[in-house]
Chain A
């Protein structure tokens, strides 16, 4: 039979026992809906977690330090790739990193502990220079005020906790000025000693330096609730953010400076204590980390730490998948039952079809198409219902969160691949369920079938 005639007949048969077939289809829809809803919570939670994590800017960044760094207080540190010759982390290395595939940018880390004066009161905090790329990292989404107006503006963005220290009404701080007090390094021109200097101090390649107190007036332009500069550095989180270029012109003394000064590398080049290498996405971090290590540097990323998180979500997905599939399995039994019943009911009809010249495969395909159509309809209904269910769960959760004065979240997510997968699974499962009834119908002896009353 031609596909169109086959479909015609199948639809006609489905319409004939409309109630039973509708109930079966509904069973599939419920199965698919619970499958979609459960998976969508898994996907939603995972997206929520990874968005929060990527907002922190941690997962696409690799911190590169030279192997000779005195992080280990001078003790030799075990390195898995210690056979590679150590290299100096200098401007050449920085350019090499920039040429690596999937690298968005390479910048030195500037963080320093300092004092801020606001309304003539002193506040201690850590200042971090933010690269311009952080504008689009998502970390500043939903901030109060705005991002820096230029790459070297004398402007500051406050982390909300710090803003609360400055004022009971943080939003009133926007537009006000604060004074940044810091220690500027000034090179001693007479020195003949060359050494590794700290990050972002390309002009201070001289021997020692003197430290001069300085002040800079900064305009508060924004307040952010996330922690864009969280993580590295070892001084806790930076809570006063200024543009990276502004930070580097300050030539502020950093903690590393002192220990760097006593280490004489004999090099005349500008060197960095550490560089941040940002990848296009967290998925490229691992490969990038390996290639940087193979160049003779120490590299570290938080992706190493997030591996257990990924394992957790894989297991979580598996579990929710199993629970979702259970409902679908029950729906499958419904299809088998409906079609087996249909064979009993339509025994005589199958005999007539065969007497009129239908082949075994014609009969088989007819039942197969009926199963497939129920699967497709059930799948479409199920995806729609699953999506709606997910929305309802998100709505309910957010209503609860709002009562607790918490920000709303997108708890569930039905990405296109989930909708498509659910649809394909629904059809495939239905076809599989139709396998046995269809072959049973095809094998029916026409003489017996015609005799059947």
Chain B
């Protein structure tokens, strides 16, 4: 349920790159507020800055200026170590290309964030199992990612993102490598998990129909700026 204090608050955030002598403003003075438990879809053409924005929220990148508040803390001012801790404990990430480690089994892939978070060994199997149960993949624990279909791989990636019980799930084109039926199944799963776990979801996509079908709100970006936010039915908010 949205509360007065948003889950994510972007305050005039900019991210500039210098490429040779030209400066690229990937994100330019952007302000946005994402309430708790919202499923927000970030839409825009290629190069509009949506992935850069997602990386900034994820703490993988730092803004050139502006403030990013996530659950009350300004991640723009965190030390590298605290930023790693933030990624580990507050954020779960899902990628277009799944990014599972091919030489690890599903179980080991899902366990990886628990290792990084130094969760007690005895506690890990139950946590892994729980996460895989949520994505309905418990029967393939010992398999390697390459033995799975794209949809299954993305479900493993979601389980891995959930295993540390994050407050915010960030998804970068999660359906980009999947056929439309599988993509829909993945988004259905994300919606379910959002309700079960009370997470906030920010998803970058360029598939507007999917975004409209599953997200609570759409944010359209262009040239590093927020062009508009709207409800799924297209009414400006």
A residues neighboring B (CB under 8 Å) = 1-2, 4-5, 8-9, 12, 16, 348-349, 351-362, 446-447, 450
Chain A's closest residue to B56 (CB) is A447
- Near A by CB (< 8 A), chain B positions 80-116 give 80-81, 84-85, 87-89, 91, 93, 95, 99, 101, 103-104, 112-113, 115-116
For chain B, give the interface size range: 20 to 34
Contact B164 A357 (CB under 8 A): yes
B203 at the interface (CB under 8 A from A): no
Would you give the shortest CB distance from A89 to chain B, in whole angstroms? 76
CB contacts (< 8 Å) of B31 on chain A: these are none
Chain A's closest residue to B87 (CB) is A357
Complex Cα spacing A354 to B87, Å = 8
B55 at the interface (CB under 8 A from A): yes
Contact B118 A358 (CB under 8 A): no
Interface CB pairs A-B, < 8 A, 13: A1-B115, A1-B116, A5-B115, A348-B99, A349-B101, A355-B95, A357-B84, A357-B85, A357-B88, A357-B89, A359-B84, A447-B55, A450-B60
| The 8 residue pairs across chains A and B that have the minimum distance between CB atoms | A357-B88, A359-B84, A5-B115, A357-B87, A446-B60, A352-B99, A357-B116, A356-B113
CB contacts (< 8 Å) of B81 on chain A: these are 359-361
Contact B116 A356 (CB under 8 A): yes
Contact B117 A357 (CB under 8 A): yes
CB contact between B99 and one of A4, A8, A9, A450 (< 8 Å): that residue: A450
B36 at the interface (CB under 8 A from A): no
B residues neighboring A (CB under 8 Å) = 55, 58, 60-61, 80-81, 84-85, 87-89, 91, 93, 95, 99, 101, 103-104, 112-113, 115-118, 121, 160, 164
CB contact between A356 and one of B104, B112, B121 (< 8 Å): that residue: B112
CB contacts (< 8 Å) of A5 on chain B: these are 115, 118
Judged by DSSP, the binding face of B is: helix
Would you give the shortest CB distance from B154 to chain A, in whole angstroms? 14
Contact B61 A447 (CB under 8 A): yes
CB contact between A354 and one of B60, B95, B117 (< 8 Å): that residue: B60
CB contacts (< 8 Å) of B55 on chain A: these are 447
CB contacts (< 8 Å) of B60 on chain A: these are 354-355, 446-447, 450
Chain A's closest residue to B95 (CB) is A450
CB contacts (< 8 Å) of B87 on chain A: these are 354-357
Chain B's closest residue to A348 (CB) is B99
Complex Cα spacing A360 to B103, Å = 22
Would you give the shortest CB distance from A120 to chain B, in whole angstroms? 92
- Most chain B beta-carbon neighbours within 10 Å: one of A357, A360, A361: A357
**Additional A-B contacts beyond A354-B84, A354-B87, A446-B61 (16; CB < 8 A):** A5-B115, A9-B115, A352-B99, A352-B101, A354-B60, A355-B99, A356-B93, A356-B116, A357-B87, A357-B117, A358-B88, A359-B84, A360-B80, A360-B81, A361-B81, A447-B61
Would you give the shortest CB distance from B190 to chain A, in whole angstroms? 18
Complex Cα spacing A434 to B191, Å = 45
- Most chain B beta-carbon neighbours within 10 Å: one of A5, A352, A356, A358: A356
Contact B58 A355 (CB under 8 A): yes
Chain A's closest residue to B83 (CB) is A359
Chain A's closest residue to B55 (CB) is A447
Complex Cα spacing A358 to B91, Å = 12
CB contacts (< 8 Å) of A9 on chain B: these are 115
CB contacts (< 8 Å) of A450 on chain B: these are 60, 95, 99
Complex Cα spacing A97 to B55, Å = 84
Would you give the shortest CB distance from A11 to chain B, in whole angstroms? 12
Complex Cα spacing A174 to B101, Å = 81
Complex Cα spacing A68 to B93, Å = 95
